[in-house]
Amino acid sequence: MIDLSDWMMSHRLKLNQDKTEFLWLGTVGQLAKLRDSRTVLVLSDYVIRALDEARSLGVIIDSELSMKRQAQMVSRSRFFQLREIRSISHFVDQYTG
């Protein structure tokens, strides 16, 4: 089996320990079996802890692929933006908007 860090180096990639995350995907029952046994991943001299959710390209992916956390964060952001628009709405007349 080829070590992941060796494979990455051979393809001119670098493992960034500060940004590297991993998570297990599965149903609630499947994930319950893994929680105690596989909480870290060791790659050469890197130790990476398993997470319940990870962010990739601005999208939050959770271990059950439910997208619940992503929907919460998008909703939170949109409500903030609506409050900001409301705070300036009295400066804009009906013909400008």
Are residues 25 and 66 in contact, defined by beta-carbon separation less than 8 angstroms? Answer: no
Write out pLDDT tens, residues 50-78: 888 888 888 998 888 888 999 999 999 99
Q: Which two tokens stand for residue 57?
A: 């390209």
Write out pLDDT tens, residues 7-53: 888 999 887 777 788 888 888 888 888 766 667 777 767 788 888 88
What is the DSSP secondary structure assignment for residue 22, as one 8-state letter?
A: B
What ranges do the domains of the chain cover? Answer: 4-91
pTM: 0.57
